Chain A
Amino acid sequence: MTPPVGQEWEPVCRLEDLEVERGAAALVHGQAVALFRTHDDRVYALANHDPFSRASVLARGIVGTRGEVDFVASPMHKHAFDLRTGRCLDDDHVSVASYEVRIESGVVQVGSRQERRASA
């Protein structure tokens, strides 16, 4: 299922409400979403749910880079997730949902869930 049309871009908070290289949880379309602001002020949104621990905690992880990839390490057991795609960098079979994000006049808006890339 995809989010209902018409709710596609939901304003969530101002960019400056987000800590740099840290996450914050938000309720978007009724769903717990983790927003991450990188050092160069890009914002990503993943589902807040850590599939390994099954707790809603990804927003509380440490943000960093692995190679060129911006990622968050789950605070629970440090599994790393690609901020762009939600793909788990430690386990190919696992991923979390990722959402489109845009910033309009300093306001962070979260859009629809991104299509998952085909994977093996």
Chain B
Amino acid sequence: MTERIPRTDPRGTHQRRTLVVVGHGMVGHRFVQAAVERGLTETHDVVVVGEECRPAYDRVALTSYFAASSADELSLLPSGRYDDPRVDLRLGTRVTGVDAEDRTVALDDGTQVRYDALVLATGAAPFVPPVPGRDLPGCFVYRTIEDLDAIRDAAATATSGVVIGGGLLGLEAANALVQLGLETHVVEMAPRLMPVQLDEAGGRTLVRHVEGLGVTVHTGAATEAVLGEEAVTGLALAGGGRVEAQLVVFSAGIRPRDQLARDAGLAVAERGGVLVDEQCRSSDPHVFAIGECAAPGGVMYGLVAPGYSMAEVVVDALLEGAGTFTGADMSTKLKLLGVDVASFGDAFATTPGALELVFADAVAGVYKKLVVGRAEDGGHRLLGGVLVGDASAYGVLRPMVSSGITLPDNPEELILPARSGAGAQLGLPDEAVVCSCNNVTKGEIGSAVALDEDGAHACQDLSCVKSCTRAGSTCGSCVPVVKNIIEEHFAAQGRVVDKGLCEHFSLTRQELFDLVAVHGYRRFDDLVEAHGRGRGCEVCKPVVASILASQFNGHVLGAETKALQDTNDAYLANIQRNGTYSVVPRIPGGEITPEKLIVIGEVARDFNLYTKITGGQRIDLFGARMEELPQIWRRLVDAGFESGHAYGKSLRTVKSCVGSTWCRYGVQDSVGLAIALELRYRGLRSPHKLKGGVSGCARECAEARGKDFGVIATEKGWNLYVGGNGGANPAHAQLLAGDLDTETLVRYLDRFLMYYVRTADRLQRTSAWVEQLDGGLDRVRAVVVDDELGLGAELEAAMVRHIGSYRDEWQATLEDPDKLARFVSFVNAPGTPDPSIAFTTERGQIQPVVPDDGSGAGGGRTPEPVLVAATIGVREQA
């Protein structure tokens, strides 16, 4: 057979064989590169036939073509020829037929080329569904640079375009239309975007991002017809919907280009593609197929990485090696319309026994899911996952799937937002493949930065490592990990600033908030065991209690949270200097009936309490012994009062002026609004106390601008101010939005408060929180008013959940003997009042007597209590 080979070899070697490659796309090019590198050209002449007029280019990065100065930027072979003279690249040439019997290919320039081995790398063609009108001018596919040129030309006269198909390529195409300045629609038949890669929640998150960029997404929408007489005017959707557009891009999947193989009588797979074995050999042993035109084991792979693997396998086969292709990692990571999206491994948790671990940060528009299964050693291993909005963990996670290593004890650390000190220590073994496009392991990257034995060369930076190892040089998704590995190698051992809450958690409040959201932790014990150390303290326990309350709104004295509560929350009242408590019933907006005033007076009289009007327009009742609290509550609750949460890091009051009802200057009903707001947000646990105010006119008698949220009436509606407070560091609230109707005002407030609750630090008032936000008040406005993150509905829903789950804490305590149990003076003498508490009278009311033992706070001296029980003085020897 060799004697029949045409002598194209410049050195005229008799033994040389001819290898014909059909197709010069990414995979065909990679095949030739590998053939040259691995010495196949020592024995073979290679004829490469490419249909397009330009050499292979980076189709993965096709969308960047519009931003590129020329097509050359995408080119994988800018010189247009291979350095190896034994490779003959014939571009702009099509193979018209394969004669498997004669082992020749016929070209459209009329010539024939004999081959000893034929490699089909013809790729795939876009699938255009058979809808009426699909051939109208204005219909395009999205595959080649020529397609993009045509789309760009058409876009010049169009105002809106629609992409049919919301998969990976469809969104790429939509990105292109956005870049061309078109009003862009995406129509996807499945109920979510990227249905192959993403689960429902991931798809939803993506939709939010995509819509945030001005793209209108139609999911669950089948295209019935492309409309138009002479050119496209729009799209008709099943169910009657219509989309106006002058430009339609079909991106509804691809089909293998296997016609040559079919015509040559080669076996093809049921769903298309040249049927090949594990060495990518077709039913004719001289013919191979690689990339998207091939169907190893009947399955077609529409990604570049498996194509590259197939290319390597065929080179190996031709060198009589034993390499095989037995399936590919279909992991995907890409940036779509500026949004990171990744899907890898068993993303849909189809493995029996698989568990899902989800982190969703609606504020940041991030959705991350890990699918975890049992490892052989009893630990957990990573099976797959979905990342939307932040795919930075992809580079670490994907190799964990393929290497099957046992996960660390807290696998969720891998998807939680990066924080100081954590850095998700990669823990990858050296043999883990970091760059799957180019099959580069962590160990190889490590060796590249380590000095050679003779000190000749060591990579000093990422770009050097990329060029030396090829890691990160194809899709780029592993670049952050490569960078990490390099940085780890060069790591200076600087100590990282600890932003943790306390010695038990090296996490911020927001990070803890996220953890609770991810895991649904309801118990401090689970949280501290999994993410902290020790048994907690007076700092972290109340924080956890507050986070649990914000998310689940359980009772403060519920079984799982009662031990965590801070001083005042623990007894639903405010402790005073002598260990007694003050009680503050809610008086919404400061409005109270005479009957209720009388009840408060009676309760104060009957329990001998000191009364004072507070700054928040309510009445504080002082001097209640702890064991008296339930009885006092009982009287108040029976009269229609409820807890005023004066003790909580939660909404306190919404102060108001008398407003338009009575005031001759008032322009709005400030009292009515204040009552409505106070009742709406009562019981909301927050990072710090929250106060509100409503003034009925610009005179601002309610001092609303000194509150966390202040509302001031205007002729047209309400001005909303946020971020004010009194206290040691007073701050004036700043205008967030003006002239709002009440409904809009409430919506903004819902969003504002929930945004604060979710992201502020421990004991951070709204003013400090706004200040430290990246972008400050503008950021708040972007999220709350402009809804740039598309979060509004979610924040509002969270508030609605809170409102729906609100219960008066006092009444709930009164109804539950377990919660009441702690309200006794002495566990062994519940009927005996604490003898150390004593009062005198001043101005007609009680005042505490503070024991004056003369020695100040030192010495651990026991006081001289006024004992009512048998007295045994215990005095310390110094």
A: residues with CB less than 8 A from B are 1, 3-4, 12-13, 17-22, 24-32, 35, 38-39, 47, 49, 51-57, 60-67, 70-71, 73, 75-76, 78, 80, 86, 88, 91, 93-97, 113, 116
Give the residue name and chain of the A residue nearest to B860 (CB).
Answer: A95
CA distance A80 to B502 in the complex (A): 14
Query: Quick one: which of B540, B563, B575, B578 has the most chain A CB within 10 A?
Result: B563
Q: Is the CB of B563 within 8 A of A22?
A: yes
B865 at the interface (CB under 8 A from A): yes
11 additional contacts (CB under 8 A) given A30-B870, A51-B858, A80-B537: A3-B872, A18-B827, A26-B828, A30-B867, A31-B874, A35-B827, A39-B535, A51-B859, A53-B577, A54-B850, A71-B537
Q: Is the CB of A31 within 8 A of B872?
A: yes
Partner of B535, one of A12, A29, A64, A116: A64
Task: Tell me the chain B residues, 559-584 only, with Cβ under 8 Å from chain A.
Answer: 562-567, 570-571, 575, 577-579
Give the residue name and chain of the B residue nearest to A17 (CB).
Answer: B827
Partner of B534, one of A18, A56, A64: A64
Q: Is the CB of B874 within 8 A of A32?
A: no
Q: Is the CB of B503 within 8 A of A66?
A: yes
Give the residue name and chain of the B residue nearest to A53 (CB).
Answer: B577
Partner of B826, one of A25, A49, A63: A25
Give the residue name and chain of the B residue nearest to A58 (CB).
Answer: B579
Query: Quick one: which of A29, A35, A65, A70 has the most chain B CB within 10 A?
Result: A65
Q: Is the CB of B827 within 8 A of A60?
A: no
Query: Quick one: which of B534, B853, B859 has the most chain A CB within 10 A?
Result: B534
Known contacts A51-B859, A54-B863: does B834 contact A25 (CB below 8 Å)?
yes
CA distance A1 to B570 in the complex (A): 35
CA distance A96 to B829 in the complex (A): 22
Q: Is the CB of A51 within 8 A of B857?
A: yes
Known contacts A25-B827, A55-B577: does B538 contact A86 (CB below 8 Å)?
no
Known contacts A30-B867, A51-B859, A54-B857: does B534 contact A12 (CB below 8 Å)?
no
B832 at the interface (CB under 8 A from A): yes
CA distance A56 to B860 in the complex (A): 13
Contacts of B535 in A (CB 8 A): 21, 38-39, 63-65, 70
Known contacts A25-B826, A55-B577: does B834 contact A93 (CB below 8 Å)?
no
Query: Quick one: which of B535, B575, B577, B822 has the most chain A CB within 10 A?
Result: B535
B869 at the interface (CB under 8 A from A): yes
Contact with A along B615-637 (1 / 0, CB 8 A): 00000000000100000000000
B256 at the interface (CB under 8 A from A): no
B536 to chain A, nearest CB (A): 5
CA distance A39 to B579 in the complex (A): 26
Contact with A along B856-878 (1 / 0, CB 8 A): 01111111010101111111100
Contacts of A4 in B (CB 8 A): 872
CA distance A39 to B541 in the complex (A): 14
Can you give 17 contacting A-B residue pairs, CB < 8 Å?
A25-B834, A30-B867, A31-B862, A32-B865, A51-B858, A54-B851, A54-B857, A60-B579, A61-B538, A64-B538, A65-B504, A71-B537, A73-B537, A75-B570, A76-B567, A78-B538, A113-B874
Contacts of B857 in A (CB 8 A): 51-52, 54, 94
Q: Is the CB of B537 within 8 A of A64?
A: yes
B542 at the interface (CB under 8 A from A): yes
Q: Is the CB of A97 within 8 A of B874?
A: yes
CA distance A88 to B579 in the complex (A): 19
Give the residue name and chain of the A residue nearest to B571 (CB).
Answer: A60
Q: Is the CB of A56 within 8 A of B837?
A: yes
B: residues with CB less than 8 A from A are 503-504, 525, 534-538, 540-542, 562-567, 570-571, 575, 577-579, 626, 822, 825-829, 832, 834-837, 850-851, 853, 857-863, 865, 867, 869-876
CA distance A76 to B825 in the complex (A): 17
A81 to chain B, nearest CB (A): 10
Q: Is the CB of B575 within 8 A of A86?
A: no
B134 to chain A, nearest CB (A): 69
Partner of B836, one of A49, A65, A80: A49
Give the residue name and chain of the B residue nearest to A93 (CB).
Answer: B858
Partner of A54, one of B534, B825, B853: B853
Q: Is the CB of B875 within 8 A of A13?
A: no
Contacts of A18 in B (CB 8 A): 827
Query: Quick one: which of A29, A73, A86 has the most chain B CB within 10 A?
Result: A73
Task: Classify the interface of chain B: helix, strand, loop or mixed.
Answer: loop
Give the residue name and chain of the A residue nearest to B861 (CB).
Answer: A51
Contacts of A88 in B (CB 8 A): 860
Known contacts A21-B535, A56-B579, A56-B834: does B872 contact A29 (CB below 8 Å)?
yes
Contacts of A65 in B (CB 8 A): 504, 534-537
Known contacts A61-B538, A64-B534, A96-B860: does B874 contact A3 (CB below 8 Å)?
yes
Known contacts A25-B825, A60-B571: does B872 contact A30 (CB below 8 Å)?
yes
Contacts of B876 in A (CB 8 A): 97, 116
CA distance A55 to B827 in the complex (A): 18
B83 to chain A, nearest CB (A): 66
CA distance A88 to B323 in the complex (A): 71
CA distance A115 to B858 in the complex (A): 18
Partner of B827, one of A26, A94, A95: A26
Q: Is the CB of A66 within 8 A of B567?
A: no
Q: Is the CB of A62 within 8 A of B829?
A: no
CA distance A116 to B578 in the complex (A): 27
Q: Nearest 4 CB-CB pairs, A to B? A: A73-B538, A64-B537, A75-B567, A55-B579
Q: Is the CB of B874 within 8 A of A62?
A: no
Contacts of B872 in A (CB 8 A): 3-4, 29-31
Q: Is the CB of B828 within 8 A of A27?
A: yes
Contacts of A55 in B (CB 8 A): 577-579, 836
Q: Is the CB of B858 within 8 A of A60?
A: no
Contacts of A28 in B (CB 8 A): 828
Q: Is the CB of B871 within 8 A of A30?
A: yes
CA distance A86 to B829 in the complex (A): 23
Contacts of B626 in A (CB 8 A): 60
Give the residue name and chain of the A residue nearest to B850 (CB).
Answer: A54
CA distance A54 to B851 in the complex (A): 7
CA distance A30 to B872 in the complex (A): 6
Contacts of B577 in A (CB 8 A): 53, 55, 76
Contacts of B871 in A (CB 8 A): 30
B573 to chain A, nearest CB (A): 11
Give the residue name and chain of the A residue nearest to B855 (CB).
Answer: A51
Contacts of A113 in B (CB 8 A): 874
Partner of A21, one of B563, B822, B858, B869: B563
CA distance A16 to B260 in the complex (A): 82
Q: Is the CB of B566 within 8 A of A26?
A: no
Partner of B564, one of A29, A30, A47, A62: A62
Contacts of A75 in B (CB 8 A): 566-567, 570, 575
A33 to chain B, nearest CB (A): 9
